[in-house]
Amino acid sequence: MSQMLNLSTGPHARDKWTTAYIMRVVVIALLPTAIIGFIVNGWYSVLMTAIAIITAVLTELVFDKICKKPDTWKDWSAVVTGLLLALSLPATVPWYIPFLGSLFAILVVKCFFGGLGKNFINPALAGRCFLLISFVSTVTTFKVDGVSTATPLVDLAAGKTVNVTQMFLGTAGGVLGSSIIALMAGGLILWAMDIIHGEICFSVIVGFLLIIGLFGGQGFDPKFLMAHISGGGVVMGAFFMATDYTTSPVSRLGQLVYGCFIGVLGGLFRTFGSSADSFSYAIIIGNLFTPLIDTFIVPTPYAYRKKMIALQRGEKKKKLKDQIPIPVVVIAIVTLIAGIALSGVFTMTKDAIEEQQLAKKAASYKEVMPEAETFEVNAAGKEAIDALNGEVYGSSFGRSRINSAITGLDSAGNAVGYVIEVTSNDAYDGTLTISVGIASDGTIKGIAFTELHETPGKGSLCDEPAFKDQYKDRNVTAFKVLKDGGSTLPEEIDSVSGATVSSRAVTNAVNAGLDFYRTKIQGGGN
């Protein structure tokens, strides 16, 4: 019998499961929600998903060939990344959005850091966050039957009633992979097969629901909690993203801490943050804390007696200050001080900020309706706004919402005009808010911004007289933007050069204000 021994370096394969096998199972687990998304959103969503997957695979293939690395593109991990990215996007985004997202996820986050097993954050999530930062208006625009609409989470944050059943089934609008029942079915299959760990996915959900119940404003009402858990990528994140092997802790206790951390952080973002759809950032922050968790929560080997071995070696017990690196302590202290300072400043200045905002609104009213001495809420307008219940106004004005309708009065108390405040969510940087002054005959007296965060030197030029004065003293049914300039008709508006998106957002808001005045206020009295 041969006495030769086969020596090899670790890691040693102890199971028939391979990376490719696991990734194929994940793809199969994601197919139900993808299919439901395709049925609800149509053939374009299939094309969008194909672009995301093909871009991811080809990017890794080309990188492997150029760098003369093994053909890792065959392990299906790129397919999973592309599919997850597509499922986390609205089904109506332009084709270049999934292309750029997959390119960034694979090339920058995965390949540049050494490939599979070496990325420090989840590639699909990183690609989504890259798109959110770069194309915020495009990636957060959702359409149902061709009409721009708010996500159920936005409606929920505004205190409106949402259809939990539709959210659970995935027919309420939002991202392509929004079917909670399909996601949970796939996730539970992965958990049953021990491909993902329950310590992560279930602790994420429990931590999230705990924060929503404590601070959400409606306690632990089951319908309220179900609405929150069914939106914003919580279930997809808990089962398919937070459980990524590379970016999650090794030990079971570490995984439990990691999952609770993500769930609590996601709940805090949802409750106190400005964006209802911010769960992706909670997972990425959790990814960044994984090395720290693995440093301090280490599994104890069988039969290992730490104290006895330390005594035999003559080692003294290490103090806490020797275990935690000084830079970590310094960063933690600085972060704590900065957080307390910012919270204190916000509390002290909250009232002053609100007063400044009210003063800014009053100044905008006076700017667009200088003939008025005083302003009061228009009764007919308020009734119409209450009936809208925060919904987007009409189907022809993008994502414009009517905030208020004000009547301008002269010194004798007679109406001299009206001011309609409108917010558009179609701006390049997210939102803008304007006051539109309208005379009794429908002539625009002027527009003034109360909120504008557009790019300096481009979209910000919408607040310059050269652009704003184009609307002034014109009586038209609706305005339209000319991208290349050269307007000759009263209803034509020359776009700000290089800022067509901002120009159209402003024009949509003005048109919404005009239409609201004519259909809801004109003839309705004060």
Please say whether the beta carbons of 428 and 459 come within 8 A: yes
Backbone angles phi, psi at 444, to 5 degrees: -70, 125
pLDDT score, position 85: 92
CA distances from 136 to 91, 130, 140 (A): 15, 9, 6
Of 242, 244, 250, 333, nearest to 291 by C-alpha is 250
Residue 481 CA to residue 168 CA, distance in Å, equals 40
Cα 26–Cα 46–Cα 56 angle in degrees, nearest 5: 55
Closest CA to 441 of 510, 518, 363, 516: 518
469 close to 425: Cβ distance less than 8 angstroms? no
- The answer to whether 77 and 27 have CB atoms below 8 angstroms apart is no
Structure tokens at 342: 């910012």
Amino acid at 212: I
The Cα 413–Cα 240 span in angstroms is: 62
Residue with tokens 């805090």: 268
Instruction: Give the model's pLDDT for residue 147.
Output: 44
Q: To which residue do tokens 């003034």 refer?
A: 448
Per-residue CA distances from 313 to 300, 301, 308, 317 (Å):
18, 18, 9, 11
Is the pTM higher than 0.95? The answer reads no
Contacts of 239 (CB under 8 A, 6+ apart): 183, 184, 186, 187, 188, 190, 191, 196, 201
pLDDT digits (tens, 9 = 90+) for 424-458: 888 877 688 899 999 988 899 999 988 887 777 78
Q: Which residues of the chain have pLDDT under 70?
A: 1-16, 137, 140-163, 173, 232, 274-277, 299-360, 430, 523-526
- The residue with tokens 């209803």 is 491
Q: Report the Cα–Cα distance between both ends of the chain, in Å, rounded.
A: 104
Closest alpha carbon to 110 in 83, 142, 86, 77: 77
Q: Which of 462, 392, 397 is nearest to 434 (CA)?
A: 462
